[in-house]
């Protein structure tokens, strides 16, 4: 396929510029339709080539063909050769058709070309073989029963789309007209013959439940997605007749009593199918059938029709959807016992469109067409085997159980029967004791009593080489271990590491994105080089354990392989990848200041991260790349710092520009252009996750209030303040919220003031947090109180109870509001004005003026309540970063005390001539 290949190289080398080499199998695509040998994609792609590392290829097969389930491994090999657990067969009868089972057992390789399941009856005489297979089939059939169903065409279409986009075709062959089956495709066999729609749906919902080995990973599909994909596989499946019908003609506006009428025809139908009608108007149909319910419980039935319909169960009407109407759905719940129930659906059509849908759900049964469980008679139809009716034979089943143990089925497959694991009685040499390396399973021709895998020559040779290496000692370094695991789980189908693997040309078109302009970066899963250096341990473990969906633009999903299967990668990847090389700079600014810088960087006037990265619920302004608020959880800080200088080094071809290209600051007027400081600021900001301030430029619906020449007052519901908040934004860039319920200066912050859109759109529900940075939450509660002594606790009664009354505010000549309130007989004004700080910090100066007609004994002002208050030269430091300076007559008498789990700063209030002032300066 030179053309295709050339096209592919074009993408890789020109557009993506990813300088790694994609290795792929030597198979010609067209020739790979029906593999002769067991397909292990990692092997076929990497080792079935000339000059392959034969020992490694063999090691891969030893796990993937599950050799160690029979041939016990010992020593260091034991930990490297974790068996690939075969499907659990506990309830295989409720998952798989009996007929298929029998065929598959008889010839796994022709039923499912490429299967890794060996033929266990090779070399046996035909009679013995048939007997053993029949016995095994009976044994397995008793684990459950299966009901047919078909999907609707909309589900098939959706399923086709899902199948070809979420990553199924990374390992499996695409199923599209005109698309050849790529080599190295994990075979399906005849899925629609094997499963029922329901059992395949259940399997798709969580493949790990029956296939814990993780080779088929869990995509965590919801019910609908799983059923859609299953429906796609059942697109051509026609099921046998399962309802009786009698057909009538006449014009009935309501469902007539069909029992008294003479039918025009009658017969059996597949489902409640109006296709049995002979004309499109003026007809009626009575459908009858039997349902076999496995459990007693509450069942819900759904009856939709155009025109009238009625549903009865056991002769009792439970849904009446009668009359002439467009398609209309009704439902009813009814409690039913386990066992057989008769159902009857009567339908009549007058004119126009006609439709009928009958569905149900119940204990353990998701909503589905009722026809998936109906039968034409009370007898649940027996499964047919080889054209004959399958009649369960208990003695055959008993023999089958013995066979299951003796020929080694139980060595690979878990099967719990009558609450007991069926144990294998098959005996095989230990792996290390295998010396005759072209005999037994490795023999070219089938050997009687030995599983036959139909191995290719390359497979046999390499397995032999691996077995030999057991004696000489193989390389089990972390590098090898990683490589083996990535091959076992076919991670290489999507990812590259060490220039191995990556999307194969034949599958490339199925890797798609919602963000076409992101190019290949938006659709091709990331390279795994250095992945443990990049991702935090917690995040990487999460991915291995559960899968991940961090890249909103990428349609291919990273499914769950399971920690039990791939969890060991974590330590191995860390051993190989982890680098710690960055020395994080000390910084002198308070964290809140640094975060403000970080927020500035993230915003449109800084480095513009938000142009491509989403931020929690906010969409990015350009492409929609990974959410900034999860970055600090995902990424190792050390890696992040290195990445910021040169993203291309870590993600060749990425669109991500270097925020600090080659360690140079592009924004030089912030933090003196110091790169280390700037990166620290960015990281500190990201560390706040969803609690971080919203970067500038992100909320297109925002109504950002900007005080430009005079202050802006905004009275509304402010987060962290009572519903009587009065926010004031100042042109100087520092802002406050005064709480008119507690007479306290509640919040102060800097930079952006507030976004009014929450309150000014729609009905305006909710409290709005300040838009800016460096929000400091000051003391709440009454500002003044008379205390018996300095140990008395600060009163917590409401301000009204303590005689406070808010009086409003007056604007001074700069139109700054000066708040006024009374505290008993004391009149208070509270003037808070922005102040220029010598320390380049945000700053407010505040003057409280008190007037009282008579002295008040024991009156204190509570200037602060914080987790800690340090007395430093000339003032106080609250919580380590709020500098508070007091002045006024009594400033020198300030007391720091512990009270109620907080540190408080109290100031005695002394009146002189009925008046006193307290001045405070906040710098933060």
Partner 1 sequence: MTAHSLFLRTLSTPGLLIGLTMAFAPVLAQETPVENDYYRMDSFKLPEGLVLEIGGIEWFDEKLAFSTRRGDIYTVENALAETIGDAKLNPFAIGLHEVLGLTQKDGWLYATQRGEVSRLKDEDSDGNADIIETVCDKWGITGDYHEYAFGSKFDKNGNIWVVLCLTGSFNSNAPYRGWCVRVTPDGEMIPTCSGIRSPGGIGANHLGEIFYTDNQGPWNGTCSLKHLRPGSFQGHPGGNTWYDLTSTIGPKPVEPVSGSRMMVEQPKIPELVPPAIYFPYKKMGQSASGVACDVSSGKFGPFTNQLFVGDQTFSTVMRCHLEMVNGYYQGACFPFRSGFGSGSLAVQFTPDGSMFVGGTNRGWGSRGNKPYALDRLRWTGKVPFEIHEMKARLDGFELTFTQPVDRDSASNTESYKLETYAYIYQGAYGSPEVDHTTPTIDRIVVSEDGQAARLYVTGLQQGHVHELHCDGVKSKAGLPLLHSVAYYTLNFIPGADDSK
Report, in Å, the least distance between residue 887 CB and partner 1.
28
Give contact residues for partner 1 (rule: CB under 8 A).
704-710, 712-717, 723-724, 740, 756, 760-767, 800, 805-811, 815, 817, 820
Report, in Å, the least distance between residue 693 CB and partner 1.
20
Cβ proximity to partner 1: between 231 and 799 the closer is 799
Q: Which residues have a Cβ under 8 Å from the Cβ of 39 and sit 6 or more positions away? A: 114, 115, 116, 184, 185, 186, 187
- The DSSP result for 405-472, as a single string, is HHSSHHHH---EETTEEPPP------GGG---TTSGGG-SS--TTS-B----HHHHHHHHHHHHHHHH
Nearest in space to 562 (alpha carbons), one of 81, 79, 210: 210
Cβ proximity to partner 1: between 807 and 890 the closer is 807
Nearest in space to 324 (alpha carbons), one of 278, 281, 272, 264: 281
Nearest in space to 136 (alpha carbons), one of 411, 450, 393: 393
Element (H, E) at 785: strand 784-786
Element (H, E) at 839: none
- The DSSP result for 152-176, as a single string, is -HHHHHHHHHHHHHSSGGGTSPP--
Report, in Å, the least distance between residue 351 CB and partner 1.
33
Angle 365-367-372 from CA coordinates, rounded to 5°: 75
Cβ proximity to partner 1: between 233 and 714 the closer is 714
Report, in Å, the least distance between residue 733 CB and partner 1.
15
How far apart are the C-alpha atoms of 631 and 911, rounded to whole Å? 55
Report, in Å, the least distance between residue 700 CB and partner 1.
15
The terminus-to-terminus CA distance of the chain in angstroms comes to 68
Cβ proximity to partner 1: between 833 and 841 the closer is 833
Percent helix / strand / coil, the chain, rounded to 5: 30, 25, 45
- Is residue 191 classed as helix, strand or coil in its secondary structure? helix
Cβ proximity to partner 1: between 482 and 721 the closer is 721
Q: Tell whether the torsion through CA atoms of 491, 493, 494 and 496 is positive or negative.
A: positive
Q: Tell whether the torsion through CA atoms of 111, 113, 119 and 121 is positive or negative.
A: positive
Please answer whether residues 566 and 548 qualify as being in contact, where contact means their C-beta atoms are separated by less than 8 angstroms.
Answer: no
Cβ proximity to partner 1: between 665 and 756 the closer is 756
- Is residue 343 classed as helix, strand or coil in its secondary structure? strand
Cβ proximity to partner 1: between 460 and 759 the closer is 759
Report, in Å, the least distance between residue 739 CB and partner 1.
11
Report, in Å, the least distance between residue 701 CB and partner 1.
14
Please answer whether residues 290 and 376 qualify as being in contact, where contact means their C-beta atoms are separated by less than 8 angstroms.
Answer: yes
Cβ proximity to partner 1: between 614 and 751 the closer is 751
Report, in Å, the least distance between residue 375 CB and partner 1.
46
Cβ proximity to partner 1: between 800 and 895 the closer is 800
Report, in Å, the least distance between residue 712 CB and partner 1.
6
Report, in Å, the least distance between residue 817 CB and partner 1.
8
Cβ proximity to partner 1: between 237 and 724 the closer is 724
Report, in Å, the least distance between residue 600 CB and partner 1.
20
Q: DSSP character for 381? A: P
Cβ proximity to partner 1: between 187 and 707 the closer is 707
CB atoms within 10 A of CB 127: 8
Cβ proximity to partner 1: between 317 and 812 the closer is 812
Q: Where are the extended beta strands (E) located within 294-414?
A: 297-306, 308-313, 316-321, 328-336, 339-349, 355-362, 365-369, 374-375, 384-385, 388-389
Report, in Å, the least distance between residue 382 CB and partner 1.
55
């Amino acid at each position: 396929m030179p053309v295709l290949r050339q096209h592919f190289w074009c993408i890789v080398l020109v557009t993506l510029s990813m300088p790694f080499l994609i290795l792929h199998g030597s198979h010609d695509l067209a020739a790979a339709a029906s593999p002769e040998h067991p397909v292990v994609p990692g092997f076929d792609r990497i080792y079935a080539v000339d000059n392959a590392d034969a020992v490694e290829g063999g090691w891969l097969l030893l796990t993937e063909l599950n050799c160690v389930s029979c041939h016990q491994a010992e020593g260091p090999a034991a930990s490297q050769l974790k068996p690939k657990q075969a499907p659990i067969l506990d309830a295989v009868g409720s998952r798989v058709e009996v007929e298929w089972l029998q065929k598959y057992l008889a010839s796994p390789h022709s039923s499912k070309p490429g299967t890794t399941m060996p033929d266990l009856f090779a070399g046996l005489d035909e009679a013995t073989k048939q007997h053993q297979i029949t016995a095994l089939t009976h044994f397995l059939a008793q684990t459950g029963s299966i009901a047919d169903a078909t999907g609707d065409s909309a589900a098939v279409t959706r399923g086709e789309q899902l199948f070809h986009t979420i990553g199924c075709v990374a390992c499996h062959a695409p199923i599209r007209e005109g698309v050849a089956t790529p080599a190295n495709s994990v075979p399906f066999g005849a899925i629609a013959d094997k499963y029922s729609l329901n059992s395949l749906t259940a399997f798709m919902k969580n493949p790990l439940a029956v296939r814990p080995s993780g080779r088929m990973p869990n995509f965590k599909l919801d019910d609908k997605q799983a059923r859609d994909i299953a429906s796609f596989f059942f697109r051509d499946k026609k099921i046998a007749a399962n309802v009786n019908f009698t057909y009538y003609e006449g014009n009935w506006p309501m469902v007539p009593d069909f029992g008294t009428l003479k039918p025009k025809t009658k017969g059996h139908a597949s489902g409640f199918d109006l296709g049995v009608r002979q004309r499109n108007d003026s007809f009626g149909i009575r459908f009858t059938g039997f349902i076999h319910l496995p459990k007693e419980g509450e069942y819900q039935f759904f009856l939709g029709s155009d025109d009238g319909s009625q549903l009865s169960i056991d002769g009792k009407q439970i849904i009446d959807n009668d009359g002439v109407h467009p398609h209309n759905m009704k439902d009813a719940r009814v409690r039913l016992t386990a066992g057989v129930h008769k159902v009857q659906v009567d339908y009549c059509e007058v004119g126009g469109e006609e439709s009928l849908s009958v569905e149900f759900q119940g204990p353990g049964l998701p909503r589905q067409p009722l026809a998936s469980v109906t039968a034409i008679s009370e007898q649940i139809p027996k499964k047919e085997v080889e054209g004959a009716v399958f009649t369960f034979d208990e003695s055959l089943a008993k023999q089958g159980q013995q066979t299951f143990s003796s020929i080694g089925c139980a060595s690979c497959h878990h099967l719990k029967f009558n609450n007991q694991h069926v144990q294998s009685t098959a005996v095989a040499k230990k792996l290390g004791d295998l010396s005759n390396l072209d005999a037994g399973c490795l023999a070219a021709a089938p050997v009687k009593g030995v599983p036959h895998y139909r191995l290719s020559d390359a497979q046999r040779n390499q397995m032999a080489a691996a077995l030999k290496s057991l004696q000489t000692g193989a390389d089990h370094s972390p590098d090898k271990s990683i490589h083996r695991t990535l091959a076992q789980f076919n991670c290489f189908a999507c990812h590259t590491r060490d220039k191995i693997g990556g999307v194969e040309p034949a599958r490339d078109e199925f890797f798609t994105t919602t963000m076409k302009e992101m190019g290949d970066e938006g659709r091709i899963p990331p390279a795994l080089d250095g992945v443990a250096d990049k991702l935090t341990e917690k995040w990487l473990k999460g991915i291995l354990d559960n899968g991940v969906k961090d890249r909103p633009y990428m349609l291919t999903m990273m499914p769950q392989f399971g920690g039990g299967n791939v969890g060991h990668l974590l330590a191995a990847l860390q051993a190989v990848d982890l680098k710690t090389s960055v020395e994080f700079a000390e910084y002198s600014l308070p964290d809140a200041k640094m975060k403000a810088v970080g927020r500035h960087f993230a915003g449109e006037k800084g480095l513009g991260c938000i142009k491509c990265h989403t931020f929690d619920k906010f969409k990015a302004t350009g492409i929609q790349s990974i959410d900034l608020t999860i970055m600090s959880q995902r990424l190792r800080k050390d890696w992040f710092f290195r990445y910021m200088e040169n993203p291309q080094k870590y993600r060749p071809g990425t669109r991500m520009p270097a925020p600090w290209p080659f360690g140079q600051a592009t924004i030089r007027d912030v933090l003196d252009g110091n790169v280390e400081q700037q990166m620290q600021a960015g990281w500190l900001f990201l560390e706040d996750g969803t609690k971080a301030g919203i970067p500038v430029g992100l909320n297109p619906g925002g109504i950002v209030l900007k005080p430009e020449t005079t202050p802006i007052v905004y009275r509304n519901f402010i987060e962290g303040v009572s519903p009587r908040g009065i926010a004031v934004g100042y042109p100087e860039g520092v802002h406050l919220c005064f709480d008119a319920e507690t007479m306290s200066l509640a919040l102060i912050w800097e930079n952006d003031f507030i976004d009014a859109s929450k309150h000014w759109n729609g009905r305006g529900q909710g409290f709005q947090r300040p838009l800016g940075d460096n929000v400091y939450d000051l003391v709440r509660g009454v500002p003044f109180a008379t205390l018996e002594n300095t140990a008395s606790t600060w009163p917590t009664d409401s301000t009204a109870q303590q005689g406070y009354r808010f009086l409003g505010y007056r604007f001074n000549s700069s139109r700054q509001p000066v708040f006024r309130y009374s505290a008993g007989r004391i009149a208070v004004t509270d003037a808070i004005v922005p102040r220029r700080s010598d320390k380049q910090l945000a700053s407010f100066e505040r003057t409280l003026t008190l007037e009282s007609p008579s002295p008040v004994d024991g009156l204190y002002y509570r200037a602060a309540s914080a987790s800690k208050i340090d007395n430093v030269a000339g003032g106080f430091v609250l919580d380590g970063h709020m500098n508070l300076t007091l002045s006024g007559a009594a400033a020198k008498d300030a007391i720091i005390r512990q009270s109620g789990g907080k540190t408080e700063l109290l100031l005695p209030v002394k009146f002189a001539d009925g008046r006193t002032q307290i001045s405070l300066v906040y710098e933060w």
